[in-house]
Structure 1
């Protein structure tokens, strides 16, 4: 092991300025035996670093390299496994437990003892040694002899001291004089001893000779001590004299301090008196303004405002607790409190009268029959001069301020409720009047058409002769319905019915937009007035991003919301009534209301998302969305309950046409709208309901084939979606096109069938024989499929018979399709293509199975094209 240690020191540790102290050959416990070395090493530089290094032998030869290194200070535990008997196993706990097996117990014990000594010599912490014999746990004797405590770092000792120049010279001379001393050390030592004795004797004689000088020195010292005593007594007398002077000066200084303190107190007292007099003095003019000032004139309001501010300053003066004990101060404060209460009551009484007067009056504008809200600019101008006084009252008497706010809200709410109700009643009347006028024109036109047709006799001006009450059939009136507008009429009546709906909706949209345009500025003007008049500091949305909302501002915002809710308590209810009226007139009015209200809500939210207007319009928008959803649900229900006409052609079903009208109207309304999420959701619901209803209606169709019903309606739906270009229905548009194509193909196949049945049957047999393994050119040798049989079958289908069959097919197909969708020619062309495909298939079979026979059908493709073309042109 000594050779290994030397090799490791030379090859591994010396290049790194380290010194290896002990080495043990080990391998990992429980694994395949692969020898490596654990070494305890220290650095050669100060401070010393101690580490445990794992060394392994390189496969290329007798070379070693470090595999792992741990610092000794990271070692937490050394486990010797067993302290009573010899064992080669031990564990080292660093970041984890490493289990080792040494080559023998002696090496293991030496390594553990080395770790013990290094721990006590270099580390400030104690490593736990578990299951290790006491004989191993000993500290080096050198450490104990030098009284180096365990864990204390040993400092390097400097024992060598360099000789001075004189000492070097003396040593050299001594050596030159005693060259023989090198050979005879004892003689040299004796000579040095003799010379030392001579020098000691000389030193003693010199000391004895200097005794007289020492005695003289002692006498001089005694004289000096006497002089020192004399000086000390003189200094003591001087000190007594200075002490008496100091006492006198202290008395003078104390007197001066008392004089200065008295003067300072006098000045301070004068300053305090001046401060109190100046700060707590309210002029006679201000007192008169507070007690008798005229609150009805602008000059009086200005004087009262200045007096109230002066009173606030006097009452807000910062006073020392000692000031409050002065009787004059107490009397002055009582006087201020009395003035405050007196003026507060006068101000509250005056403003209450103004609130009551304004609550019983009307605003400017908004005459009878006009669709406009009265403006309150004059009322606001009359009250705004009192804003500063309201601010003073808010600070000095919050309860009276709150009472004034309640009175204002109660009185103005009655006025606004009356004005808003009259305003919205006028709006409803405008809507109903417009509906009646349009209905009257439509009804008279219908009567004229019916009279002209001979259905009625007598004067057309007498509507009672028609047997119908014009108002009883009006949409939105009791007993009203839209049966009249949707009943079978002449073309003129149908156009007028459609015009009636569009005109009614347009009139309602204008009235509704005018209502919002009138209502918003009134609410905003009142909110602005309340903020100024009641001194409410409310942060806008922009300021909220940069300013932290304080408690005071939150309270002001709550007060403003409460006042606005009380003043305009009727707004939401009256708007809901107007919306209900519009929805009863026509469910599609909810589209106009949804667009308009969404725009106004978005505008209000941008200005202030927490304002009363934004909240109220948002609540109304929720009601509009509910009405809109209810209308969409009604359309879905109508689609589910739709029936195919029992007589005549199915044509385009009513709910498909209804969706087309709805989508066209919706796209026109939402053309410039910024938000159309609700409409896109409605589109998705309706188109899904249409797909389901089409399949259901097609199955219930009594006369028109299912494929025709689906083909025509899917084609109409595809054309509608392509024309309107609705982005959210792009997938449904493609699905409609795909369904149309599939049902067109299915109808063509089912309608055409087998136009040449015997020929079809013959060639089906040929294909069966070929599938059974008969070669194509040998099929003609089968008795049932010989050339003679084929010619016999072909003779049964001359061109004349084929054309006759196609004419019958055209008449059959023509009965299934409606004229409005114009799909008959498309279907006829598809039938032509399918017939030609079957013809070409027969020709291919003849060419493959009867080669060189010269057999062919009695009509050609050109003949078929001529048949199809002439039949289409003749109809």
Structure 2
């Protein structure tokens, strides 16, 4: 038998050296053994079928003392390239949960060690294969003994019997022969391997457990030996029991005969009973047939009774539908439509509407539709409906004109001389509202009858509204006796004391007209849409104050009582319905626009600038009219806004024409008259703005553009004085519009444009004055700049006319009598300036520009003539300051 690797001390020392090289604390190797590592399964041929080849490894069982406790480990060591053992894996023995011998290995030398702390349980654990079973048993017994000694329990063992393992351990414990020295000589002593160790391992099975197992096995073996004797004994007992049963049956023969006699008597009684039951069955069948006949006749009688009761109830209901109450018939055929009788008339309408609806084919049982009574009564109801609708329509067609005539005949309803009267239609609407429910029922009974009623109402109310507007407009114009305001235009001589007083009477008149009648027209449109049963949305009531929105004066009329059900009907927004409503509203309000046009034209004649205020008021009302029932009012306001815009555009075009025709053939001196007049016009226009300023901004853009274009043309009449004319007029434009430009963005834009033009004109004029008096000086500098493009500064003094002598002559002629030359410059600026207030700023700009040009001149001179003496910039500044 080959020697086991567990006895290889060299292998043990190699394991201890490999472990010590990686661990700080020393571990004691209890046992180490060479194994083969694999992960496959055993095939039929008994060979290992694996995805990986078996790898040589060494399994070492080690212990490490830590205080009073001892820890045990299972270490896996592998061979390095140099054949030296080095640690590969380490497992704590306390986590060992299962020891399983692989059943597929016929040799039984392959086993698994299952640990409960492995991270991936899905990967199969490695399989360890030993050289023989003895090596396997020796390693596993070492592991089990160490678990029981250190942990107090052993892991689960699968695939082998632990008792056999114990018996194997007892039989295969190696014996060591040792010599003990005595007085008589050495004596050999037999000692087990377990007894020779300092720490004796505990047996897996104790001595008492082993004796019990042997006793049990002995009993089991003895029972197997007595099986034949036991079988013979059981057969003898079975034969004895069968003999006893036969003897007992023979003794009870008399009792069996008595039982048979009783059964025969019972059979005779049963036959007699069956005969009697057949007779009774026949009699019961006859009786059941009689009962069924009686029940069938009773059911028919009961059904007939129930049907008669249901028919009676149905006829009673039908009679209720077909019968006309006398009081309703009187109201529908010949009742009065006075206000006192309207409650009865409405109740009669409700009954007639429901009665006609109840007799419609969709609401009546199909078996009743063709009944003669139903058809005749339906025709009677239709005739009654036509009679009532005709009477009601004729009454309302006469009622509306009579109501309006009554108001037309009362002069107190209209404006009179010296007294403006606001139209008040509250009483008229209250009287009309009495018949609102009647109109709703007329629509439900015969919708075609509403068209003549709507026309009659529109025609009558149109007369009233047009007269109210005419009287109100006439009184507004006659009550405004203010003289025509002095609107500043652009023809005639300019006057510094021209009046710019504001007479806003015309705009106030238009504002009153709009404030009074636009809400009235909106209210009338909304009332008409609901009163005449149009399915369109109502005006939303405005909750703004009168100061913020004049449309708030148009109080929304609550018309919830106009619906038959007592609730406001939902708007259908039908396009056809809306088209009919717009046509009716045009008939209702047509002609009133003439009075508004008359106010606008009258206000424009008094003061064209009132168009600004009127446009703002109109735009505010126009933005507030968005409801469908105010469509005609929206059109009216839109036309008024267009008319006002046209009139104001005419005024602006006239102003532009007056600016363009200004005399251009005569030399202009000073500021043109239309510049100060424009500032007066702009100040007045800003005071008239009431809301949107688009109209005014457009006028500013058009007028100022013409002003600037005309100014450029006027300046070109005398080319010698172009810049003087421009700078004086642009300065006057800035001065006159300074305050307004701070608050009006449009004017601010033109203010900056005028400022840029003014600066450009000043620069051109100042440069002209400077070059007139210092022409030689700056011509010499320009000649130097031209030569420097093609040659160096050292070569320039050798050019013709550029020598130092020439330079000194030029300098002497230009700067001699400097005081006189500078005074001449000042007088030149002063000579043609009519606005004396501009002279100081012009002179300051002239001095600054001259100093800048002179400093540039000195830089050139220092490059070309560095040794020449020239007046410095500071000296020139002092000279200018002293004059």
Q: 1:514 offset after TM fit, Å? A: 0.7
Counterpart check, 1:488 vs 2:530: no
Question: How many Å separate the matches in 1 of 2:679 and 2:781?
Answer: 48
Residue 609 and residue 392 in structure 1: after superposition, are their counterparts in 2 closer, same or farther (change >3 A)? closer
Question: How many Å separate the matches in 2 of 1:416 and 1:510?
Answer: 21
Q: 1:424 offset after TM fit, Å? A: 3.5
Counterpart check, 1:603 vs 2:624: yes
Determine which of 493, 510, 518 is the counterpart of 2:516: 518
1:255-292 per-position Cα deviation (integer Å, ceiling 9, x unaligned)? 33223322322222232233234344443333333334
Determine which of 532, 535, 539 is the counterpart of 1:534: 532
Question: Residue 590 of structure 1 aligns with which residue?
Answer: 611
CA contact (8 A) 2:328 2:348 kept: yes
CA contact (8 A) 1:537 1:553 kept: yes
Question: Residue 304 of structure 2 aligns with which residue?
Answer: 262
Question: How many Å separate the matches in 2 of 1:832 and 1:400?
Answer: 93
Q: 1:508 offset after TM fit, Å? A: 1.8
Question: How many Å separate the matches in 1 of 2:41 and 2:769?
Answer: 104
1:390-445 per-position Cα deviation (integer Å, ceiling 9, x unaligned)? 222121122222221112212322333344344435445566x53xx347xx8xxx
Question: Residue 365 of structure 1 aligns with which residue?
Answer: 414
CA contact (8 A) 1:412 1:567 kept: yes
Question: Residue 403 of structure 1 aligns with which residue?
Answer: 452
Determine which of 377, 381, 400 is the counterpart of 1:355: 400
After superposition, residues 182-197 of structure 1 pair within 5 angstroms as none
Question: Residue 115 of structure 2 aligns with which residue?
Answer: none
1:152-172 per-position Cα deviation (integer Å, ceiling 9, x unaligned)? xxxxxxxxxxxxxxxxxxxxx
Q: 1:515 offset after TM fit, Å? A: 0.8
Question: Residue 194 of structure 1 aligns with which residue?
Answer: none
Q: Is the partner of 1:753 in helix, strand or coil?
A: helix
CA contact (8 A) 1:604 1:613 kept: no
Question: Residue 730 of structure 2 aligns with which residue?
Answer: 713
Determine which of 858, 863, 873 is the counterpart of 2:879: 863
1:502-537 per-position Cα deviation (integer Å, ceiling 9, x unaligned)? 42xx12210110110121232134234424533445
Q: 1:595 offset after TM fit, Å? A: 0.5
Residue 348 and residue 646 in structure 1: after superposition, are their counterparts in 2 closer, same or farther (change >3 A)? same
Question: Residue 755 of structure 1 aligns with which residue?
Answer: 773
Q: Is the partner of 1:647 in helix, strand or coil?
A: coil
Question: How many Å separate the matches in 2 of 1:250 and 1:598?
Answer: 94
After superposition, residues 658-697 of structure 1 pair within 5 angstroms as 660-670=679-689, 673=691, 675-677=692-694, 679-680=696-697, 683=700, 692=709, 694-697=711-714
The range that moved more, 624-633 or 278-287, is 624-633
Counterpart check, 1:809 vs 2:828: yes
The range that moved more, 234-243 or 250-259, is 234-243
Question: How many Å separate the matches in 2 of 1:374 and 1:243?
Answer: 100
Counterpart check, 1:312 vs 2:334: no
Q: 1:745 offset after TM fit, Å? A: 1.8
After superposition, residues 284-363 of structure 1 pair within 5 angstroms as 284-295=326-337, 297-318=338-359, 319-361=364-406, 362=408
Q: 1:709 offset after TM fit, Å? A: 1.3
Determine which of 290, 294, 304 is the counterpart of 1:252: 294
Residue 510 and residue 228 in structure 1: after superposition, are their counterparts in 2 closer, same or farther (change >3 A)? farther
Counterpart check, 1:739 vs 2:757: yes
Question: Residue 195 of structure 1 aligns with which residue?
Answer: none
Counterpart check, 1:647 vs 2:692: no
Q: 1:702 offset after TM fit, Å? A: 5.9
Question: How many Å separate the matches in 1 of 2:507 and 2:513?
Answer: 10
Please, which runs of 5 or more residues in structure 1 have no aligned partner?
Answer: 1-5, 11-175, 180-215, 443-474, 476-481, 868-875
Aligned residue pairs, count: 638
Q: 1:829 offset after TM fit, Å? A: 1.9
Question: How many Å separate the matches in 1 of 2:704 and 2:393?
Answer: 64
After superposition, residues 773-784 of structure 1 pair within 5 angstroms as 773-775=792-794, 784=803
TM score, norm. by length of structure 1: 0.58
Q: Is the partner of 2:434 in helix, strand or coil?
A: helix
CA contact (8 A) 1:508 1:582 kept: yes
Question: How many Å separate the matches in 1 of 2:622 and 2:874?
Answer: 77
TM score, norm. by length of structure 2: 0.58
CA contact (8 A) 2:770 2:850 kept: yes
1:528-548 per-position Cα deviation (integer Å, ceiling 9, x unaligned)? 4424533445424669xxx99
After superposition, residues 445-456 of structure 1 pair within 5 angstroms as none
Counterpart check, 1:377 vs 2:426: yes
Q: 1:714 offset after TM fit, Å? A: 6.7
Determine which of 571, 581, 585 is the counterpart of 1:564: 585
Question: How many Å separate the matches in 2 of 1:426 and 1:377?
Answer: 23
Question: Residue 834 of structure 1 aligns with which residue?
Answer: 849
Please, which runs of 5 or more residues in structure 2 have no aligned partner?
Answer: 1-37, 43-220, 225-255, 542-567
Question: How many Å separate the matches in 1 of 2:273 and 2:717?
Answer: 145
CA contact (8 A) 1:649 1:818 kept: no
CA contact (8 A) 1:282 1:310 kept: no
Q: 1:591 offset after TM fit, Å? A: 1.6
Q: Is the partner of 2:400 in helix, strand or coil?
A: helix
Residue 861 and residue 418 in structure 1: after superposition, are their counterparts in 2 closer, same or farther (change >3 A)? same
Q: Is the partner of 1:366 in helix, strand or coil?
A: coil
Counterpart check, 1:824 vs 2:839: yes
Q: CA RMSD in A?
A: 5.7
Residue 354 and residue 845 in structure 1: after superposition, are their counterparts in 2 closer, same or farther (change >3 A)? same
Q: 1:254 offset after TM fit, Å? A: 2.3
The range that moved more, 324-333 or 401-410, is 324-333
1:802-845 per-position Cα deviation (integer Å, ceiling 9, x unaligned)? 24413431333xx24446xx433322221122233344455666
Question: How many Å separate the matches in 1 of 2:633 and 2:580?
Answer: 16
Question: How many Å separate the matches in 2 of 1:860 and 1:278?
Answer: 124
1:121-142 per-position Cα deviation (integer Å, ceiling 9, x unaligned)? xxxxxxxxxxxxxxxxxxxxxx
1:84-116 per-position Cα deviation (integer Å, ceiling 9, x unaligned)? xxxxxxxxxxxxxxxxxxxxxxxxxxxxxxxxx
Residue 406 and residue 761 in structure 1: after superposition, are their counterparts in 2 closer, same or farther (change >3 A)? closer
Question: How many Å separate the matches in 2 of 1:838 and 1:727?
Answer: 39
Residue 716 and residue 331 in structure 1: after superposition, are their counterparts in 2 closer, same or farther (change >3 A)? same
Q: Is the partner of 1:773 in helix, strand or coil?
A: coil
Question: How many Å separate the matches in 2 of 1:245 and 1:612?
Answer: 90
Question: Residue 315 of structure 2 aligns with which residue?
Answer: 273
Greater Cα radius of gyration, structure 1 or 2 = 2
Question: Residue 133 of structure 2 aligns with which residue?
Answer: none
1:696-737 per-position Cα deviation (integer Å, ceiling 9, x unaligned)? 554456663146416632772587266333565465554443
CA contact (8 A) 2:356 2:378 kept: yes
CA contact (8 A) 1:387 1:533 kept: yes
Question: How many Å separate the matches in 2 of 1:711 and 1:420?
Answer: 53
Question: How many Å separate the matches in 2 of 1:561 and 1:866?
Answer: 84
Question: How many Å separate the matches in 2 of 1:230 and 1:487?
Answer: 154
